[in-house]
Amino acid sequence: MASAGVVARAEFALPPALEAAEPPEARGLPRDGVRLLVSDLARDAIEHAHFTDLPRWLEPGDLLVVNTSGTMNAALNATAADGEEFELHVSTRLSGGFWTVELRVPGAVASLPCRHARVGATLRLPGGGQATLLAPYPLGTSLDAASRLWMAALMVPDGVPAYLARFGFPIRYSYVKQPWPSSMYQTVFANEMGSAEMPSAGRPFTPELVTRLVTSGIQIAPVLLHTGVASLEDHEPPYEEFYRVSPETAERVNAARRNGHRIVAVGTTVVRALETVTDEHGMTAAGEGWTSLVITGERPLRIVNALITGLHEPHATHLTLLDRVVAAAGGDRSHLERAYAEATKLGYLWHEFGDSHLIIGSSARRSCTA
């Protein structure tokens, strides 16, 4: 019984050629020109299309839920008292005004993880700012434990968001070979800054595509979830993140579900936000706060039954979540493995500038009337 599914099975290796090293625009593609892998679970089919073909798999009344969080310039150059150079990644604002941060060291192409910082260390930041490491994060571990993540006090002029906009730069991992302008890290839906890393599932949407969706009768509703730093090198589960689901969105989610339409999460961040505010009967409520929810085999999805996402790391906890979406969409347990095998074979691109994956089943409407 492998209810966790893919994580146990798919220890596939990701060849470097499948890592998107630059935005599609640098390859001459519009944002919605990236490829779209479609897991059409109503037919147990795997199809290959482009993102601009998305409306083909949706029906009037289906509800796309998007994340409106904007990507901060979350990386800062930092210098320790002894002169050692670091890169500080500002992750999540905690209640009480402290922040979780990741401390990294400069590398040849991009920064690398580092664990040799100690509690109490104070780092100098550009423009007269300062960061003090208060405790290893998550809290509760020994204060002198080696840690990658920290709870920190940031003392910067004009508040953290404005300060980052001025002195920071977008977080970048080594598969992206060089810096890109921060506008490349914003989705068309972004209206409130706060994510450490781009909620990248929304990146392929363009104003034209959104217009086509809306005029076809597809609904779009906003939620907010500020992403923290990913843990690409460490394969940790996601930590707490700030979210907000408005009463209007909760109402539309419930209405869509009641009418048998599909709830399509645009990104795993949206899954996290919506599932946090949905009870065991599948009723979604408004809510705001920090969520630590992790979708596991023991916690099936309550409301989301379709997903638009990128292609995920072999070990990522996200794959468990994808398995749950496949199950919620009525798919076979082996589907994800087959879909990923095809994506790998056909050269789909991974990561935030890469290709997309739609996981979707039949709507309750269609199965009732078929």
Partner 1 sequence: MRETNRVALVTGASRGLGEVIARVLAAREYDLVIGARGEEGLSRVRDQLGERRRVVAIAGDITDAAVRRRWIGAAEDLGGLDVLVNNASELGGIGPLMTFDVQRFGRVFPVNTGAPIALIQLAMPLLAARHGLIVNITSDAAGGAYPGWGPYGASKAALELLTRTLAAELRDQGVSAVLVDPGDMRTRMHQEAFPGEDISDRPLPDVTAPFWHWLFEQDREAIRAQRFVAQQQDAPWHQPA
| Interface with partner 1, residue 178, by CB under 8 A | yes
The closest alpha carbon to 213, from 99, 81, 16, 58, belongs to 58
> Where is 359: in which H helix or E strand?
strand 356-360
CB-wise, 99 or 185, nearer to partner 1?
A: 185
| Token pair of 227 as six digits | 């992403």
CB of 29 to partner 1, least distance (A): 8
Please report whether residue 369 would count as binding partner 1 according to CB under 8 A. Answer: no
3 state DSSP class of 6: helix
Task: State the chain's maximal CA–CA distance in angstroms.
Answer: 71
Site string for partner 1, 26-65 (x = CB under 8 A): xxx--x----------------------------------
Q: Give the residue ranges of DSSP H helices in the chain.
A: 6-9, 160-167, 207-215, 247-258, 268-276, 318-328, 335-345, 364-369
Min. distance of Cβ 249 from partner 1 in angstroms? 22
Handedness of CA 322, 25, 202, 365 (dihedral sign): negative
Stretch that binds partner 1, among 114-122, 137-145, 175-183, 319-327 (CB under 8 A): 175-183
Query: Binding to partner 1 by residue 94, rule CB under 8 A?
Result: no
Q: Which is nearer to partner 1, 106 or 247 (CB)?
A: 106
One-letter amino acid at 361 equals G
Sign of torsion over alpha carbons 312, 317, 318, 322: positive
Kindly state the number of chain residues that form the binding site for partner 1, as judged by CB under 8 A.
23
Taking CB under 8 A as the criterion, the residue among 56, 118, 166, 177 binding partner 1 is 177
We find the least distance from the C-beta atom of residue 87 to partner 1, in angstroms, to be 12
Where in 181-210 is the site for partner 1 (CB under 8 A)?
Answer: 181-184, 186-188, 203, 205-208
- Interface ranges with partner 1 (CB under 8 A): 22-23, 25-28, 31, 177-184, 186-188, 203, 205-208
